Amino acid sequence: MRVLVTGGAGFIGSHLCEFLVRQHHDVTVLDELSTGSVANLASCLDAGTVRLVEGSILDRDLVSECVRGKDAVFHLAAAVGVHTIVDSPLQSLRVNLYGTENVVEAAVTHGVPFGIASTSEVYGKNDADGLCEDADRVLGSPLLSRWSYAAAKGLDELVAHTRAAETGTPCVSYRLFNIVGPRQTGRYGMVLPRFVAQALRHEPITVYGDGTQRRCFGSVYDVVPAMVELLGTSAAHGRAVNLGGREETTILGLAEMVKDCTGSTSDIRTVPYDVAYGSGFEDMRRRMPDLTLAHELIGYTARYGLDDIVRSVVGAARRADQTRSKAGAQRVGEAFGHGELVA
Ligand code: NAD
C-alpha cells in the first residue's frame, strides 16, 4: 500500500512509519519539522524506505498532492504539548483545525481511507472510572487557551466523521491516552521524558500540581499496530476508539518510578500549575480509558505495563545521551586535528 503519514517525523508518527515499512508499505511523510525531527526518521531515511516532504498541513495544495494516489492516510500532524498550546494558542488552533480540515478534504476528495489522531483530552475534566467513547465532555471556559487543543480535536473528529459519512470514505479517529515511549521529547510539556531527563541529570524532578492527579500511560508499541489494524477493520469505520494503557498511577508515583529506575539522586519537587503554565491553568484529577471497544474491534490489549515503558524510555534516553557525548567528543577530536575520540 502507498501510505501518507502526516506528522510522521514526530514521536508516534516515526514509530508508525517504521511499523509500516516493516510491513512493506510505501511510506510518504508530510511534516513541517516543528516538534518532530529528521533524526526521528533517520533509519528509514538512510535506508530510503520513507520519503519526507517538508511542509505544512496548512498548505492545502501540498496536502492534496501528498494524499493523491495513496491507499491510506494517517493524520498525526498537530500542534502538540501543553507548552505549545499555552504559548501559541492561535497558531495551534489554526494548525489543529484548518490543517486537519485540509487533510480530511483531501482524503475524501481522493477517496482515500484515513485515520486521525484524536486525544483523551476531548473528555476534558470528566474523571469517570473508565472513560468510554460516548462519555460526556467536561471542558473549562473557552477563554482558557489550555482547552483549545481539546476543543480543536473534538471538532476535528466531527469534521472527519461527517465528511467521511457524506462521501462514504472509511475513517477512524484514535483517542490516544498519554502515549509514551522512546523518542518522545519533554520539551513541550510531556511528563515522562521530562522526568527521565531530570533524573538522569540528577536535577530535581519537577511534578506540576500536587502530584496526586492520576493518569494511565500507554506504550507507543501497543498503540501503533492498533492504529493500522483499526483502519483496516470495516467495523471500526465511523468510530472514535480509545487507545492506551491499562495501569493507572499518580504523577508523584511516576516520578518515584523514574527515580528508582534511573538510580537517580534527584529530589522530587512539586511546582504549582500557575508557576509551570501561567495563571488560570486547569487540570483533570484523573484520566482512565475504557478499552473495551478497541478490544471488541481488534482484540486490543495493552501488552506493556508501566514498568516496561519506563525502562524502555530510560534505556533509550541513556543511549541517546551516549550517542550525543560520543558525537561531541568526535567534534572536539576533529577540532584538535585528530579524528579519534578525546573524551
Ligand atoms: P509530536 O509533536 O512528536 O508529533 C507531531 C508532529 O506533527 C511533529 O512531527 C510536528 O513537526 C508535526 N507538525 C506540527 N505542525 C505541523 C504542520 N502544521 N504541518 C505538518 N506537520 C506538523 O507529537 P506526538 O505525541 O507524536 O503526537 C502525534 C499525534 O497524536 C498528534 O496529533 C497528537 O495530538 C496526538 N496525540 C498524542 C498523544 C500522546 O500522548 N503522545 C496523546 C493524544 C493525542
Residue 243 CA to residue 98 CA, distance in Å, equals: 25
- For 233-236, the CB contacts below 8 A with 24+ separation are 233/297, 233/298, 234/170, 235/297, 236/172, 236/297, 236/298
Confidence at residue 228, expressed as pLDDT on a 0 to 100 scale: 98
Confidence at residue 288, expressed as pLDDT on a 0 to 100 scale: 94
| List 149, 221, 277, 300, catalytic entry | 149
State the distance from the centre of ligand 1 to the C-alpha of 73, rounded, in angstroms: 15
Confidence at residue 246, expressed as pLDDT on a 0 to 100 scale: 87
State the distance from the centre of ligand 1 to the C-alpha of 168, rounded, in angstroms: 27
- Sign of the torsion angle spanned by Cα atoms 108, 109, 111, 117: negative
Confidence at residue 224, expressed as pLDDT on a 0 to 100 scale: 98
Confidence at residue 82, expressed as pLDDT on a 0 to 100 scale: 80
Q: Which atom of ligand 1 is nearest to the CA of 176?
A: 43
Query: Of 19, 62, 76, which is best to mutate to test ligand 1, by the most ligand atoms within 8 angstroms of its C-beta?
Result: 76
- The model carries a pTM of 0.94
pLDDT block averages, 10 residues each, the chain of length 343: 98 98 97 96 94 98 98 97 85 96 98 98 93 95 88 97 98 97 87 96 96 96 98 98 95 97 97 86 90 98 95 94 75 44 27
State the distance from the centre of ligand 1 to the C-alpha of 80, rounded, in angstroms: 5
State the distance from the centre of ligand 1 to the C-alpha of 115, rounded, in angstroms: 14
Q: What is the set of domains in the chain, with CATH numbers?
A: 2-181+217-246+288-303 (3.40.50.720)
185-212: pLDDT as tens digits: 888 778 999 999 999 999 999 999 999 9
Confidence at residue 335, expressed as pLDDT on a 0 to 100 scale: 47
- For 165-171, the CB contacts below 8 A with 24+ separation are 165/238, 166/108, 167/108, 167/111, 169/107, 169/108, 169/111, 169/112, 169/113, 169/114, 170/113, 170/114, 170/231, 170/234, 170/237, 171/107, 171/113, 171/114, 171/115, 171/116, 171/237, 171/238
State the distance from the centre of ligand 1 to the C-alpha of 117, rounded, in angstroms: 8
Q: Which atom of ligand 1 is nearest to the CA of 99?
A: 18
Confidence at residue 78, expressed as pLDDT on a 0 to 100 scale: 97
Q: Which atom of ligand 1 is nearest to the CA of 34?
A: 11
Confidence at residue 104, expressed as pLDDT on a 0 to 100 scale: 98
149 as an active site residue: the answer is: yes
The three cell numbers locating residue 96: 489543529
What residue ranges line ligand 1, CB within 6 angstroms?
A: 6-7, 9-13, 30-36, 56-58, 76-80, 95, 99, 117, 119, 176, 178-179
Query: Of 12, 122, 191, which is best to mutate to test ligand 1, by the most ligand atoms within 8 angstroms of its C-beta?
Result: 12
Query: Of 33, 35, 215, 287, which is best to mutate to test ligand 1, by the most ligand atoms within 8 angstroms of its C-beta?
Result: 35
